[in-house]
Amino acid sequence: MDQFPVYLAVILTVVPVAFALLFPLLLAGPLTWAERRQSAYMQDRIGPNRAAIVLPGGKEYRVFGLLHPLADVIKLITKEDTIHHSVDKFLYNLAPLIALFPALVTFVIIPFGPDLAYQAGAMVIAPFANGSVPTGNTMELQGARVDIGILYIFAMSSLGVFGVTLAGYASSNKFALLGGLRASAQMISYEVTLGLSLIGLIMVFQTLEPSSMVYQQGELMWGVIPKWGILIQPLGFIVFLTAAIAENKRTPFDLAEGESEIIGYFIEYSGMKFGMFFMAEYVEVVVISGIVTTLFLGGWQLPFLFSDGFHFPGGAFLGLHGAIVTAMGVGTFVFKVLFMCWFQLAIRWTLPRFRYDQVMNLGWKILLPLSLANMVVTGLVLLS
Amino acid sequence: MSGHGHGHAEEHPKGGYVKNVARTLEHDFIEKLFVPAIAVGLGVTIRHFFRNLLFKERYTQTIEYPDVKPAYPARFRGMHRLVPRDDGKPRCVACFMCQTACPANCIHIEAGETPDGSIEKFPLVFKIDELRCVVCGLCVEACPCDAIRMDTGFHPPPVQTRAEADVGRNDLLSFFGRDELPAQERSAAHPPPTAGGLGRIDRTEGDLGAGGSRGGF
């Protein structure tokens, strides 16, 4: 494989980083719409559909209410930003940034397409087949290839605690403080489970690098079933998803908010500063979907699709151009992420919320032992 | 609590009786797993989601009001109207029965004498204050000549001033009963004075002989 020309190298460096930053950010707005609209459909309502663009001729375009996030953003930005005189101004202004920042930077280690190589004056797909990881001079469709990618995810997600805690601490409001307290206790508790639930997966794949995990998930077990994380670590998947939703503080684990009791750590925030907490939640939904997709659902892998086309079990072969394979890989990744977003919203609107002691019980007494058991059983299976 | 009584009253140490409610709900292992129950719940919500999203027959009952208007029931009491005779003059003989029956005192009638003497009286002024009207329909019941009805099918529209809510004789005479004309014909020739408010109605009382829009005296 040849050296990439400089312009291609620059493009292939900038595009994945831009994708990693913009994909969750731009998906957050439509997700607020999807949340309201989907919950409406699940509850036999209609949901927001009135915001419209009215042309001079009087013709209205409502596009299923998709303009509501736009209207929300305009409202939040133009709203007066009220700051109480007794807040700690520095920490108060810093908190929403800290809350949003980890959510935005986590997506960078998630691969969204196969590695590319340069051969004979043209860009080609780096050859991979049945679990093999391409080597050599390749460019990756991944913001940053970090060897300790999974650890990076945990490092960043644990930073998110600071935003919430500082928001509650700096607001000089006892309800905000209670919310921040709850949020920090909950997030720290579930972080343990979050990490331990992935140990099994890491043991199976023998790597912390997400891209390598995705390549290994393309392997076919018994020549038929793709070796997706969800199939080899089903318990790990359930525990991880539960812990991730708890980490994101969404219903059924939305103890940090609780409109009927303490409102939440962002009670003193108005305008776009509140909007940033709100946005962080939805960006995190996308990030969790991306992580779950990468670790458990085979990432951008489509079953039986390898770098030269489909190899169906039984020997049937459908050759495809490298560009099409790449496009299908990226499309598969986006589809899986959207599906996981949808699934998270479905969970959020299906389950009632836990009581605080129940959240702690679930985290420490059920999920943590389960993830430990999962680790032990995986280890025994791998040893035998 | 499960060790205590099951639903029977026990004497409290401090006196009085306290009812012990049995809470012996035990979860079996499958229920304690949560996951099957969550799957069932997700099944219900996702079924509703897809049926409402994809299928024509939905669970949703919402009517998007300003865009879609539900049909009023057949006996809906709407805006009053004065029923005309064949020659277009009101049937009303200014007998004051409706004004007397009205519990809200919203009807104001001033009687005049007909020039030809065939019918003794006619309403020189017939005003209904739609803001005071309680839509009880007693005026319709009281009328001996079926001259006032509430079958227009539209409700009194919003108004900007109190004076606008006073609907006069000629306006009342210009309204049609909703069974009188086919809906399309009616809406084309005589749009119901709803959204624009009563201020849109031509409320020139005209001279005695002019009558309403249906012909004069």
Beta carbons of B35 and A238 less than 8 Å apart: yes
Query: Cα–Cα distance between A127 and A116 in angstroms, integer?
Result: 9
Walk along chain A (384 residues) in steps of 10 and give the mean pLDDT of each run. Answer: 81 90 91 93 89 86 88 91 89 91 90 85 77 78 86 88 89 89 89 91 90 87 83 91 89 82 84 90 93 91 83 79 87 94 93 87 90 93 89
Put simply, the chain B residues between 47 and 66 with a CB less than 8 A from any chain A CB are: 48-49, 52-53, 58-62, 64
- Strand (E) or helix (H) holding A310: strand A309-311
| Residue A1 within a domain | no
Q: Does A225 touch chain B (CB under 8 A)?
A: no
pLDDT at residue B154, as a whole number: 78
Rounded Cα–Cα distance for residues A182 and A364 (Å): 15
Contact A149, A107 (CB under 8 A): no
Q: Is A50 helix (H, G, I), strand (E, B) or coil?
A: coil
Within-domain flag for A136:
yes
Identify the sign of the CA torsion A201, A205, A206, A207: negative
A189 within domain boundaries: yes
Is B118 in CB contact (< 8 Å) with chain A? no
Query: pLDDT band for position B128 (50/70/90)?
Result: very high
Asked if the structure places residue A76 within a domain, the reply is yes
Question: What confidence score (pLDDT) does residue B195 get?
Answer: 37
What integer pLDDT is reported at residue A31 of this predicted model? 93
Measured in angstroms, the CA of A41 and the nearest CA of chain B are apart by 5
Residues of A in contact with B52 (CB under 8 A): 41-42, 44
Which of B44, B45, B62 lies nearest to residue A45, judging by beta carbons? Answer: B62
Would you call B49 and A45 a contact, using CB atoms and an 8 Å cutoff? no
* 3-state DSSP assignment of residue A214: helix
The whole-chain average pLDDT of chain B stands at 76
A37 within a domain of the structure (yes/no): yes
Per-residue pLDDT averaged across B119-142, rounded? 90
Helix (H, G, I), strand (E, B) or coil at A6: helix
Q: Which ipTM score applies to this complex?
A: 0.86
Token code pair at residue A354: 């836990």
Alpha carbon of A52: minimum distance to chain B alpha carbons (Å):
14
Distance CA A372, CA A378 (A): 10
Whether chain B has a CB inside 8 Å of the CB on A63: the answer is no
C-alpha distance from B51 to closest chain A C-alpha (Å): 9
* Contact predicate A255/A249, CB 8 Å: yes
Contact A113, A332 (CB under 8 A): no
User: SS3 of B109, please?
Assistant: strand
> Does pLDDT of B203 surpass 70?
no
Residue B9's pLDDT is 66
Strand partners, A375: none
Least CB-CB distance to A350: which of B42, B52, B60?
B42
- Domains delineated in chain B: 9-54 (no CATH), 81-200 (3.30.70.3270)
Q: Which two tokens stand for residue A240?
A: 């991880």
- The number of distinct structural domains making up chain A is 1
Interface-testing mutation among A37, A38, A39, A42, with chain B (most B C-beta atoms within 10 A): A42
Whether the Cβ atoms of residue A353 and residue A252 lie closer than 8 Å to each other: yes
B154 vs A18, residue with greater confidence: A18
Residue A350 in contact with partner chain B when CB distance is under 8 A: yes
* Structural domain range at position A96: 6-383
The pLDDT assigned to B196 comes to 40
> Above 70 in pLDDT, residue B51?
yes
B185 has a pLDDT exceeding 80: no
- Name every residue whose Cβ is closer than 8 Å to that of residue B182 and which is 6 or more positions away in sequence: none
Domain annotation covers residue A75: yes
Look up the pTM and report it: 0.80
A301/B139 Cα distance (integer angstroms): 77
pLDDT one-digit tens code per residue, B55-64: 878 888 888 8
Pick from B213, B135, B119, B116: which is nearest to B174 by CA?
B213
To test the contact with chain A by mutation, choose from B35, B44, B46 the residue with the greatest count of A C-beta atoms within 10 A, namely B46
The CA distance from A247 to A194, in Å, is 8
Helix intervals (H) in chain A: 6-42, 68-78, 89-106, 149-170, 174-205, 210-217, 229-232, 234-247, 271-296, 322-348, 356-361, 368-383
Q: A346 lies in a domain?
A: yes
Q: Which one-letter DSSP state was computed for residue A33?
A: H
**Residue whose entry in the numeric block shows the structure tokens 């809510």:** B165
Q: Is the per-residue pLDDT at B210 higher than 60?
A: no
On whether any CB of chain B is under 8 Å from the CB of A45, the answer is: yes
**Residue B60 CB: number of other CB atoms within 10 A?**
15
**Chain B within 8 Å of A349 (Cβ-Cβ)?**
yes
Is residue A355 in a domain? yes
Inter-residue long-range contacts of A221-228, CB under 8 Å, 24+ positions, other chains counted: A223/A313, A224/A313, A226/A298, A226/A301, A226/A303, A226/A304, A227/A131, A228/A296, A228/A297, A228/A298, A228/A301
According to DSSP, the residues that pair with A116 across neighbouring strands are A125, A139
